[in-house]
Structures are given as C-alpha cells and as structure tokens.
C-alpha cells in the first residue's frame, strides 16, 4: 500500500548519507575571489577574535580593596586663624575613607559663632521695611523671629535665630591658602583578586621594603612601581593646573587598570595608573563649580557658653577607581571559536555555488 511504501522510504532515508557535489571551476576571477574571502575570514578569526579579543580565554572581573594615607605639612597666616601649621589631621577630612580622600586647599572661616539672633544677610527675599515684612517661624533658609532690624546704616533685613555672626561665603580668597598642598604625597595600597583563577596581587610588589617606600615617588618613566604619588603630578597628568584647581576645588579620578593575561607569568600582571578630572568644568555651565563642604569645630567659653568656628572647605577629592579583567586559556571557548571559524569557511563554498548558478558558469 501507499502507506507501507512511505514507511519503507523513510526507513531507508534514515540510514542514508548525502554529500554535496564537488565542481572544479577553472577561473582566475572566481578562484581569486574565493581565496580572498577565505583569507579575510582567517584574518578575522586569527587576528581579531584570537589575538585582539582573546576569545580562547575564560575571563573574570576584578575584586579590589583600596586604602590611602596622605602626608605633608603646610603653613598659613590669615586674619581669622593667625599663623598656623597644618598637618594631615587638619586638611585630610575625613581622616579615613574607602577608595577616596579629600585634601583641603582653600577655605572661608567664620570664627566665634554662638547660638543667638542677628540680621539676615541682605538679598531680595530678606530685605524688609518693617516687622510685617518678616514672617515669624519661617525657615526657608534660617528661622525668622518676625522682627525687622538694621543690617547696616542703609539696609534692614529680617532677624533670624541661628549661629551668629552669619557666614559670608562670597569672599573666597583668589589664591589658594594652602599652596603647599601641591607637594603633599599619598600612599595608595591596592589589593586585587580574581577568584575564578585564585589569583591575588598588590600594587606594592613583593620585593619592596620600608626603606624604599620612605624615599620613592611615582614617576612613569623612572619609578613606575612606586605606590606613592605627589598630588601636583597627578593633577598635571590630568592636564590641570593644581593652584587653579585648588581655589574652588574639584574631583580627580585615579584610575588603576588591572587587565591581565594570566597565560603569561605573574610578574607581567601589574597596575597601570592614569588620572582624569571628573567634576564638571564646562564654561557654559559654571553654576556651583568645584567641590566644597562645611564643617565646624566646637568650643566652650569659661562661662560654659558653646561657640564654634565654621569652615567652608574647598579642596580636591581624589577618587580611586579600580577596574580590570583577567583571562586564561580554556578549552571550551577555544572549541567554540574554532567551530565558528570552520562554519564561516564552509559558508564560502555555499555562497560561491549560489553565485555560480546565478551567473550561469555551469
């Protein structure tokens, strides 16, 4: 029957093996194009996939920890603070941080503030003519008492309950107060791990000792393995001027690249440092430039009254950014990519066969 015939035919087809016909085309044009395509595929697989992308490797992302320690001493002589020596406890705020540190370079100081009442700083919303212009309890910026009082001989403003005298933060020094900050140094200790390969390493090499660390300073040409960096050198490599940046502050990125090929000996895997300014420095959008924050130091007078010195601190925040990928030979991605290359090569014959049929070479 017809059904039995179809079953018998399907049974025979299951145990059959077909091959494509091989036709030799004696044409220099066709042969040249065929070999050119084969060469391009081999060049892509060997040159780009294997050499550039290293797709024969298994990869892992870096896990990192960073600690920093700043050193240096500066001197200032101002009307608010007098003659003063600044050490790391004064300008490194906060004293410890994870993957970042701040160095004070400029400041506005408001000394001897106490909890009391005083006239608000004059602006469009605080200038008044009488008490009716002041809303008691309003705390848009500070808490108003509802009274209008003399700020100067010609200007009246609303009275506020606050730390008085109020800070006047528009008189920023035109030159950074802590000019010596450019010569401060920072020790960066960085440990990395690639857990998939059980690989661990530090940026402080095994043969480094304490005496070397006391006298070395990072130099890309003469001492690239030293983990101690001069602040001015890092800012300069970011194509910035330290003293200009120090006036209003900013954010500088310290990039540590740990891209490693673990098919090579371990000593070939090391950190590569680069530096870049990270905060906004666009002339067309210069609102709130730089980097600053406020902190206060509190005291008590002999009569038990609390006072404070308010400091608006300008400076440079250094962010340590660690990134990297490690690769090591693995058979699985190697087989996958070799198989893909062979598939590409087999497609060349199919494409040429279709082209020959369409152009009537046969």
101 within 8 A of 317, measured Cβ to Cβ: yes
**CA pair distance 158, 288, nearest whole angstrom:** 26
pLDDT at 313: 92
The secondary structure of residue 167, as a DSSP letter, is P
Q: What is the pLDDT of residues 244-257, one digit of tens each?
A: 999 999 999 999 99
Q: Give the pLDDT band (50/70/90) at residue 97.
A: low
Average pLDDT over residues 74-90: 80
Lowest mean pLDDT among 3-12, 71-80, 220-229: 3-12
Measure the CA angle with vertex 114, ends 111 and 117; round to 5°: 120
Residue-averaged pLDDT of the chain = 84
Closest by Cα among 243, 91, 231, 121 to 174: 243
Distance CA 325, CA 199 (A): 12
pLDDT above 50 for 362: no
Residues with Cβ within 8 Å of 28's Cβ and at least 6 positions away in sequence, in order, are: none
List of residues 6+ apart from 352 with CB closer than 8 A: 30, 33, 34
pLDDT for the residue 355: 53
Known binding-site residues equal 69-71, 185, 292-294, 312
Q: Would the pLDDT of 59 be above 80? A: yes
pLDDT at 361 over 50: no
With a cut of 80, say whether residue 312 has pLDDT above it.
yes
Is pLDDT of 183 > 80? yes
- Residue 137 in contact with residue 343, Cβ under 8 Å? no
Annotated binding-site members for ATP: 69-71, 185, 292-294, 312
- pLDDT for 268 beyond 80: yes
Please tell me the predicted confidence (pLDDT) of residue 359: 53
Q: Which residue from 77, 68, 312 is spatially nearest to 178, judged by alpha carbons?
A: 77
Q: Which has more confidence, 352 or 54?
A: 54
Of residues 152 and 51, more confidently modeled: 152
Is the pLDDT score of 238 beyond 80?
A: yes
- Tens of pLDDT, residue by residue over 98-155, are 688 999 999 999 999 999 999 999 988 889 999 999 888 877 778 899 999 999 999 9
- Can you tell me the distance from the alpha carbon of 253 to that of 235, in angstroms, rounded to the nearest whole number? 9
Q: pLDDT tier at 34 (50, 70, 90 boundaries)?
A: confident
User: What is the pLDDT confidence band of residue 232, given thresholds at 50, 70 and 90?
Assistant: very high
Closest CA to 217 of 188, 241, 192: 188
Instruction: Cite the beta strand spans of the chain per DSSP E.
Output: 57-61, 63-71, 74-78, 82-86, 100-119, 143-150, 156-164, 185-194, 199-202, 228-230, 250-257, 260-261, 272-277, 292-300, 306-323, 325-329
């Amino acid at each position: 029957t017809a059904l039995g015939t179809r079953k018998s035919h399907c049974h025979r087809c299951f145990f059959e093996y077909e091959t494509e016909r091989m036709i030799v085309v004696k044409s220099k044009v066709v042969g040249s194009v065929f070999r050119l395509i084969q060469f391009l595929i081999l060049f892509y697989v060997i040159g780009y996939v294997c050499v550039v992308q290293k797709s024969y490797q298994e990869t892992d992302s870096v896990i990192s920890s960073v600690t920093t320690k700043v050193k240096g001493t500066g001197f200032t002589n101002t009307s608010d603070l007098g003659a003063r020596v600044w050490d790391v406890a004064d300008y490194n705020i906060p004293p410890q941080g994870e993957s970042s540190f701040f160095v004070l370079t400029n400041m506005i100081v408001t000394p001897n503030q106490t909890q009391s009442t005083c006239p608000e700083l004059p602006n469009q919303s605080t200038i008044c003519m009488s008490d009716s212009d002041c809303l008691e309890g309003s705390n848009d910026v500070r808490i108003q008492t509802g009274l209008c009082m003399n700020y100067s001989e010609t200007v009246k403003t609303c009275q506020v309950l606050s730390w008085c005298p109020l800070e006047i933060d528009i008189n920023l020094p035109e030159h950074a107060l802590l000019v010596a900050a450019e010569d401060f140094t920072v020790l960066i200790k960085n440990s990395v791990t690639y857990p998939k390969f059980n690989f661990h390493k530090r940026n402080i090499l095994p043969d480094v000792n304490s005496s070397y660390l006391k006298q070395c300073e990072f130099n890309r040409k003469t001492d690239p393995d030293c983990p101690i960096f001069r602040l001015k050198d890092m800012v300069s490599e970011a194509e910035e001027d330290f003293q200009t940046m120090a006036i209003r502050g900013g954010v500088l990125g310290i990039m540590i690249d740990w891209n490693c090929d673990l098919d090579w000996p371990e000593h070939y895997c090391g950190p590569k440092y680069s530096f870049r300014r990270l905060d906004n420095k666009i002339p067309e959008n210069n609102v709130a430039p730089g980097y600053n924050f406020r902190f206060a130091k509190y005291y008590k007078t002999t009569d038990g009254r609390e006072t404070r010195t308010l400091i608006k601190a300008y400076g440079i925040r250094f962010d340590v950014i660690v990134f990297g990928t490690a690769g090591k030979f693995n058979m699985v991605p190697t087989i996958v990519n070799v198989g893909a290359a062979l598939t590409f090569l087999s497609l060349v014959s199919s494409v040429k066969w279709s082209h020959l049929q369409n152009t009537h070479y046969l």
